[in-house]
Each structure stands twice: as C-alpha cells, then as structure tokens.
C-alpha cells in the first residue's frame, strides 16, 4: 500500500502494521472518518449502564419542576 498524505501507519515489534494516525487537519472533514469514530465510541459505551426512557423523562421533568 502506498503512502497517503495525512495518514501514517505505526508497526509493532514484529513489523506488523498496528496503528493508524490520521492528520485531522488534512482529513478532519471526511465523513467516513467521523462515522468510524462514532462507531468506536458506540462500541466503547455498550457496557455502560442505561436508564429506561420513562425514568429519564420523569427525572428530567422533576428537574424542571414539571408534574405529569
């Protein structure tokens, strides 16, 4: 694979490509990179605790002083 401006690969001790560095000044407005980073964030948050929607709405209404 040839070199791409703004993209750098880092290899591990065995010489295998392991990391990719993306220059956001060059590629920061690329929708595919934004989508990839969104997916990484979603995967990382999958194990976080969740709140049922009804409980969330009730809590928000209480914070705003709304009784429904």
Q: Compute the distance between CA of residue 12 and CA of residue 26 in angstroms, rounded to an integer.
A: 25
Q: What does the alpha-carbon distance between residue 27 and residue 50 come to, in Å, rounded to a whole number?
A: 33
Q: Domain coordinates of the chain in residue numbers?
A: 7-64
> Confidence band (pLDDT; 50, 70, 90) for 17?
very high
The radius of gyration of the chain's CA atoms, rounded to the nearest angstrom, is 21
Phi, psi for residue 21 in degrees, rounded to 5: -110, 130
Structure tokens belonging to residue 35: 């989508």
> Is the pLDDT score of 42 beyond 90?
yes
Displacement of CA 22 from its chain's centroid (Å): 14
- pLDDT at residue 68 tops 90: no
- Average pLDDT of span 18-37: 92
With residue 7 as reference, give the H or E element that holds it. strand 7-11
């Amino acid at each position: 694979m040839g070199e791409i401006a703004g993209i750098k690969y880092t290899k591990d001790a065995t010489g295998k490509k392991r990391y990719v560095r993306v220059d956001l000044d060059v590629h920061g407005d690329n929708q595919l990179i934004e989508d990839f980073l969104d997916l990484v964030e979603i995967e990382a948050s999958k194990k976080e605790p969740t709140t049922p929607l009804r409980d969330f709405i009730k809590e928000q209404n209480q914070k705003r002083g709304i009784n429904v």
